[in-house]
Amino acid sequence: MVQFQEQSWHIRDRFFLSGKYRAEVGRLNSRTEHEKGRNNSPGVAGEGFLATLTSCRLCPRACGVNRLAGEKGFCRAGVRPRVALATLHHWEEPCLSGSRGSGAVFFSYCNLRCAFCQNYRISWQGRGREMEIEDLTALFLDLQAQGAHNINLVSATPYTPMLVPALREAKKRGLKIPVVYNCNAYESLESLRSLAGLVDIYLPDLKYIDDGPARRYSQAPNYFSVATAAILEMQRQVGILTFDAAGLARRGLLIRHLVLPGQAEAACRVLEWVKANLPRETYLSIMAQYVPVWQAQRYPEINRRLTAAEYESVLEYFDALGLENGFCQELDAATTDYIPNF
């Protein structure tokens, strides 16, 4: 029996921030990351950790830049984690947001260049501030103390080596709530394996099935083959999504797919891949929240909102395939009103 839960997700219109870690709009870190000759070490790092930054291959782009020397690769991330916002976030899937919010930590920079990115201020422009590893640990514990149902690491791919010691220390110091790794699925298997045992819930966005749109809209060659290999590794680590008595996610895989204008047929093929390669009980979140922001106007075919007919055709195909579990959205989720003000 299909269990398809309808939810707009934009129930609340306020963020609850920890004043100590707030990243305000316009307050960019003034430190020059290109400075040479100074100690760029993030403060808590072993020899193996440092080695990953001297020739960065944390994601499939394998840029090979020396981030410790101030070099920048495709994502432009530096040597320290850069955080744009930490908040009790109420606009995720209901099994993540619950009644008190998901403890979302939005990281700056990204290894994709999505023309329609709603978070372009941080993913493209890098708004935020640098933090030490010990500050990340304190931030996770602070969000738990505020009542967060989970720690939601949003677009943390460029900072995986920093997350590992931060999460380990947080767990030693009493972090009990689930850790969510919220990503674009353009991940290396090595990075994902370094997170095994630290991440409880994987929340990848399976964006594309065709290489053309992946390159055109996100500058992501071989996206589908990379992303599906990553998702299979996530499934291996955490399995089917499971819940507590209150309906909150505790462990497992939840795959998102944002339906793009004119791409309903491609979305249906994404569902076919899920059916063919993952357990029938796998949870999907089929999203209708696309808004033509940032550079979407450069591409006439996606410079519009999704139609009801397009979205409904994907939901109907979900049902026809016999997939069992998922979340959907109302079309009024497609608005800029609910984009965080980074």
CA 133 to each of CA 19, 170, 197, 254: distance values in angstroms, whole numbers, following the listed order = 18, 10, 19, 27
Distance CA 141, CA 174 (A): 8
DSSP state of 69: G
Hey, which bits of 227-301 come out as E strands?
A: 242-243, 249-258, 283-287
Tokens of 283: 């949870």
- Which tokens go with 193? 């394996």
269, 209 contact by CB (below 8 A): yes
Extract the runs of DSSP E, i.e. beta strands, from the chain.
3-6, 16-17, 82-89, 102-107, 129-130, 151-154, 179-183, 201-204, 242-243, 249-258, 283-287, 325-328
Q: Compute how many other C-beta atoms are within 10 angstroms of the C-beta atom of residue 133.
A: 23
Is residue 248 within 8 A of residue 98, CB to CB? The reply is yes
Instruction: List, in order, residues 6 or more apart from 14 with CB less than 8 Å away.
Output: none
CA distances from 287 to 2, 16, 66, 306 (A): 17, 25, 37, 10
Biggest alpha carbon–alpha carbon distance for the chain: 62
Residue 3, helix vs strand vs coil: strand
114 marked as binding residue:
yes
Q: Could you write out the DSSP letters of every residue in 72-123?
A: --TT---SS-EEEEEEEE--S-HHHHTTT-EEEEEES--S---TT-TTHHHH
User: Which residue matches tokens 């720690």?
Assistant: 151
To the question of whether residue 110 is assigned a binding role by annotation, the answer is: yes
User: Binding site membership for [4Fe-4S] cluster: which residues?
Assistant: 110, 114, 117
User: Binding site membership: which residues?
Assistant: 110, 114, 117
